[in-house]
Amino acid sequence: MANGNSFGVLFSVTTYGESHGGAVGVVVDGCPPRLPLTEADIQVELDRRRPGQSHITTPRQETDRCQITAGVFQGLTLGTPIHIMVHNQDARPQDYSEMATTFRPSHADATYQAKYGIRNWQGGGRASARETIGRVAAGAIAKKILRLAAGVEILAYVQRVKDIEAQLDPAQVKAEQVEANSVRCPDPEVAAAMIQAIEAAGREGDSLGGVVECIAHNVPRGLGAPVFDKLEADLAKGVMSLPASKGFEIGSGFAGTYLTGKQHNDEFYMTPSGWRTRTNRSGGIQGGIANGEDIVLRVAFKPTATIRQAQNTVTLSGEETVLAARGRHDPCVLPRAVPMVEAMVALVLCDHLLRHHAQCGSLVFPEQGSSLRISPAAPVSS
């Protein structure tokens, strides 16, 4: 499927829907059968993503109640496609009538028009952040598989808003700290400063950007692939496909380029349960393959493009004009980007979990009552 609305090879998702169309949704294919799954498993993540959840997010009111209409039977997944949909409720297309003819700077209006010769201009259409509902819903399933099958835990948080930065050890951050405040920064004092800054920007009709950091614990050693589908490459694609993302780092990232090889390398040592690395500048991935250490990555999100301040722009018919956006929007996307980043990381890791299992796991078919191995594994000291 070559049109960019699908993601993943074995655990694959396809999303559809526009901001003010009837509904947005997702088809999840490749989920292992007999996974316990309810709408509540998904709703908890959608609630972290939905608009109107706090005074620093857009006031658009959407409860974003999800429905599973296929793929689950008596509380268990069937192994066939899971379809989850959310109906749009608080649509006010009239708030966006101006956008029918005027391109918002740094938004997708002009490029969609150039590509397709048409666009649904109501609330951004397909370019709206509502598109991410399907990703977050699918990510909730991926998280559950990763947790049950391998104990993987994924946690993202806001590390910086503009120049207000939290000094954090990723390995020590707890989910409760992240969810304890509306900006999703685990340091409460920094969080308070961030909230103030976002409120101020909102009052001025301006917007802010920043950095989301994400850590994945307990990722099984061996996930990934050596060439084009390196684990960091697929993670980069996943998060760089989120609206407003402008940069990606794994492990030491750009800062690591100021070190020498001797300073940067992660030395190995032995533990009773196998080798480990003393440092983790690799960010949990070496040669495209997980090494069992925490995966740590960072994503830059630009300040929201839609602002209330007046800006110079052009119209569909080619006239210069000035636009001061109405409609509802977030003065800072970071707090709601946290569950989106977690979802994309989960989708990548779950897909690679199944892919690694397919090629390198033992061929075990329980219904044949036997474990069929192609050949004995070479001894691995881990």
Per-residue DSSP letters for 54-82? Answer: STTS--------EEEEESEETTEE-SSPE
- Stretch 68-107: interaction string toward its own copies, x if CB under 8 A: -xxx-x--xxxxxxxx-x-----------------x-xxx
How are beta strands 295-301 and 66-70 bridged, if at all?
unpaired
Within residues 277-306, the interface with its own copies by CB under 8 A covers 277-278, 281-283, 285-292, 300-306
Q: Which is nearer to its own copies, 46 or 354 (CB)?
A: 354
Alpha-carbon distance of 60 to 65, in angstroms, equals: 15
Residue type, position 351, single letter: D
Per rule CB under 8 A, is residue 148 in the interface with its own copies?
Answer: yes
Contact status, residue 139 vs residue 343, Cβ threshold 8 Å: yes
The phi, psi pair for 35, rounded to 5°, reads -80, 125
- Stretch 32-71: interaction string toward its own copies, x if CB under 8 A: xxxxx------------------------------x-xxx
Within residues 179-198, the interface with its own copies by CB under 8 A covers none
Whole-Å CA distances, 236 to 28, 77, 270, 340: 21, 29, 31, 14
Within residues 351-380, the interface with its own copies by CB under 8 A covers 353-368, 371-380
Minimum gap (Å) between residue 189 Cβ and its own copies: 21
Alpha-carbon distance of 167 to 146, in angstroms, equals: 28
Contact status, residue 343 vs residue 368, Cβ threshold 8 Å: no
Within residues 313-352, the interface with its own copies by CB under 8 A covers 313-320
Minimum gap (Å) between residue 47 Cβ and its own copies: 22
Minimum gap (Å) between residue 150 Cβ and its own copies: 6
Pull the structure tokens for residue 109: 């209006």
Q: Which is nearer to its own copies, 21 or 339 (CB)?
A: 21
Total number of residues binding its own copies (CB under 8 A)?
Answer: 185
Minimum gap (Å) between residue 176 Cβ and its own copies: 26
